Amino acid sequence: MLQLILFGPPGAGKGTQAQALVEHFKFVHLSTGDLLRAEIAAQTALGLEAKRFIDAGELVPDETVIGMIRILLDRIDTVPGVIYDGFPRTVAQAKELDKMLTSCKEGITALLSLEVPHDELVKRLLLRGESSGRTDDTDIATIENRISVYEAKTQPLIDYYTQLGKYHPIAGVGTIQEISQRLISDVDKL
Ligand code: C5P
Ligand code: MG
């Protein structure tokens, strides 16, 4: 089973491109950000706890998101593949994911990394904030903090997966369709 991490900074287009891959390959999409927002909408204890971090542009603690992924992976049967979107976000989360997958004789196939310049990210996030109403997309200071947190805590995953020979950089600029085509042809080769 293909186990793909759709990787990149906030605003790189992970959610959008995950949908294109799901349509094309019938993969299962695991978005920790979407799950957290659903918990917030349902006003669960987890959601209320997570909201504080999300509104500040900070990361929800490792144990919380790892717990969410663990529950989901237990429920997945045979599918052509799984796309992780927004997870792992720290090296600790990546190591824990490796352990979970090894225990069911699986492993990460590739880190598909959408590469997008900083100014383009800010532009996209502000635009998304206008239509989505996502509070973490409307405030420029929160956006910049999310990008800084990405650089400090999430970007080191590139080294981690490069050492495992699994890092696949993909140009994340151009039209949505152009980027989908790049991803699809990369996945076709796996
Ligand atoms: O992945 P996405 O950009 O939708 O996540 C939105 C916010 O949710 C992040 O900025 C972060 O605050 C939180 N999050 C997290 N850990 C994850 C996924 C999302 O802290 N694994
Ligand atoms: Mg997203």
CA 87-115-144 angle, 5° bins: 70
Q: Cβ(13) to ligand 1 under 6 A? A: no
CA 18-29-84 angle, 5° bins: 80
pTM, two decimals, is: 0.95
Q: Cβ(86) to ligand 1 under 6 A? A: yes
Contact 118, 146 (CB under 8 A): no
Q: What domains lie within the chain, and their CATH numbers?
A: 2-180 (3.40.50.300)
Nearest C-alpha to atom 2 of ligand 1 is from which residue?
A: 33
pLDDT by residue, tens only, the chain of 190 residues: 999 999 999 999 999 999 999 999 999 999 999 999 999 999 999 999 999 999 999 999 999 999 999 988 888 877 889 999 999 999 999 999 999 999 988 999 999 999 999 999 999 999 999 998 888 899 999 999 999 999 999 999 999 999 999 999 999 999 999 999 999 999 999 9
Contact 3, 72 (CB under 8 A): no
| Catalytic member of 14, 37, 51, 182 | 14
